[in-house]
């Protein structure tokens, strides 16, 4: 499944991009907002990795581990999305206060 491999590598790259961006920023609300985006990307990476394992191996152990990876990844995506939505207005306000 080359499409899954491409999505896995892409989500890992996006995660690293946002994690580095999070470390480099000085504003606390923007840091938490960017951390939410990196959490979404990391969750997508883990979930896609679990889905990819379903296509590679066909054993009971693989199905159990893939289900764990997919569920942990989806919970991380959900938590990251909630974090992103919660801190977005605060990050916008913080950026507006920084300018003015």
Q: What is the pLDDT of residue 98?
A: 86
Q: What is the percentage of the chain residues whose pLDDT exceeds 90? A: 92
Contact in structure between 40 and 67 (CB atoms under 8 Å): no
pTM assigned to the model: 0.91
Task: Please state, in angstroms and rounded to a whole number, the distance separating the CA atoms of residues 1 and 60.
Answer: 20
pLDDT confidence bin for 100, thresholds 50/70/90: low
Task: Please state, in angstroms and rounded to a whole number, the distance separating the CA atoms of residues 4 and 86.
Answer: 30
Whether residue 10 is predicted with pLDDT greater than 90 in this model: the reply is: yes
């Amino acid at each position: 499944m080359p499409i899954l491999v491409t999505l896995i590598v892409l989500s890992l790259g996006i995660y690293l991009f946002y994690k580095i961006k999070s470390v480099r920023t000085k504003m606390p609300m923007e840091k938490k907002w960017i951390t939410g985006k990196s959490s979404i990307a990391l969750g997508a990476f883990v979930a896609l990795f679990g889905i990819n394992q379903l296509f590679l191996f066909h054993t009971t152990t693989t199905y159990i581990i893939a289900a764990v990876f997919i569920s942990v990844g989806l919970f991380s995506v959900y938590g990251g999305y909630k974090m992103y939505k919660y801190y977005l207005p605060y990050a916008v306000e913080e950026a507006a206060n920084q300018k003015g």
